[in-house]
Structure 1
């Protein structure tokens, strides 16, 4: 596998984390805010359609690789990612094959255009 250099991290992504506050009915409502903004490499894994409850939906699944840092190592599927004007749901986070403790791989999905 080819090593990741700074030039290959050619996308800017933002990881958002929710904070919760109670509304007038004492329901916990999430408010999303920027947690970290980082450079990333993006690779599309798949796109496809599926039918659920009679509705057709299309999704794009991509993998984003970012440099490891104290903050990046705390990213979980409870967070979300924004890139290219779209919000992506994080499905998984793991250490990347490109180097132990050097890069983190985030798999995320969004509705297709």
Structure 2
């Protein structure tokens, strides 16, 4: 899919967990905003619902594209992404066919009901 910057019609915020040492090794702290919001393109690619332990879980897998910058190239799967009130766990990050221009981030958001 060819893409240009005019298609980056949303703003997303990346989140990173602070590492807190509990005296026995590092444990993950809460996720806090990392840097400033960046422009992004968003496409929901799949959704599912399942029942586990008597509770309904709804999940959506989404692809985001952002400009490839020194900041976005520093994002890892350990980080999270916030978009339009939902928080997504990052599953993977790859270059698009427009090498060195955009990164594609596959992420999942889930809700327990």
In the alignment, which residue of structure 1 is the partner of 2:51?
Answer: 51
Distance 1:43 1:75 in 2: 19
In the alignment, which residue of structure 2 is the partner of 1:86?
Answer: 86
Distance 2:38 2:107 in 1: 15
Quote the RMSD (CA, aligned, Å).
2.3
Q: What is the aligned length?
A: 111
In the alignment, which residue of structure 2 is the partner of 1:35?
Answer: 34
Distance 1:29 1:103 in 2: 29
Unaligned runs of 5+ in 1: none
In the alignment, which residue of structure 1 is the partner of 2:105?
Answer: 106
Distance 1:30 1:18 in 2: 5
Is the Cα–Cα contact under 8 Å of residues 17 and 28 in structure 2 kept in the other structure? no
Taking structure 2 as the reference length, the TM-score comes to 0.84
Instruction: From the superposition, tell whether residues 95 and 26 of structure 1 become closer, same or farther in structure 2 (CA, over 3 Å).
Output: closer
Is the Cα–Cα contact under 8 Å of residues 23 and 29 in structure 1 kept in the other structure? no
CA drift at 1:22: 3.8
CA drift at 1:53: 3.6
Taking structure 1 as the reference length, the TM-score comes to 0.84
**Is 1:14–2:13 an aligned residue pair?**
yes
Moved more, 50-59 or 23-32: 23-32
Is the Cα–Cα contact under 8 Å of residues 94 and 103 in structure 2 kept in the other structure? yes
